[in-house]
C-alpha cells in the first residue's frame, strides 16, 4: 500500500469512527435548549399563580385539613404511636 492510500484509508476509518460523535453533537444543542426553555418557564411563572388545582382536589385537601383538627396533639410522641417498619 502506498503512503497516499494509507493516509486515505486512515482518514476514512477516522471519519467513520467520528460519525456517531457528530450525530451526538448535533443533538446536544437541543438538550441545552430544552433545559433553558424549562428554566425560563419556571422563572416567568409568578409564585402567586401556583399550579392549577381542580375543585375536587381543593375539596379533598380542605377536608383533610379540617379533619386534622379533630385529633389532639399529644404532649409527647411515643415510639409505638409512630409509623412501623412494616409499613
Check: CB of residue 74 under 8 Å from CB of residue 81: yes
Q: How far apart are CA 27 and CA 24, in angstroms?
A: 5
Domain boundaries, the chain: 1-36
Question: Tens digit of pLDDT for each residue in 27-48?
Answer: 556 668 888 888 888 888 776 6
Q: Is the dihedral angle over the CA atoms 35, 37, 43, 48 positive or is it negative? A: negative
- Give the pLDDT band (50/70/90) at residue 67: very high
Question: pTM of the entire structure?
Answer: 0.30
Residue by residue, DSSP assigns the chain as --HHHHHHHHHHHHHHHHHHHHHHHHHHHHHHHHHHHHHHHHHHS-TTT-----HHHHHHHHHHHHHGGGSPPPSS--GGGS--TT-
Amino acid at each position: 500500500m502506498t503512503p497516499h492510500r494509507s493516509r486515505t484509508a486512515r482518514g476514512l476509518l477516522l471519519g467513520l469512527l467520528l460519525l456517531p460523535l457528530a450525530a451526538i453533537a448535533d443533538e446536544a444543542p437541543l438538550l441545552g435548549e430544552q433545559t433553558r426553555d424549562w428554566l425560563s418557564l419556571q422563572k416567568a411563572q409568578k409564585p402567586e399563580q401556583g399550579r392549577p388545582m381542580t375543585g375536587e382536589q381543593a375539596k379533598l385537601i380542605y377536608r383533610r385539613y379540617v379533619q386534622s383538627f379533630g385529633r389532639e396533639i399529644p404532649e409527647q410522641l411515643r415510639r409505638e404511636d409512630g409509623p412501623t417498619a412494616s409499613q
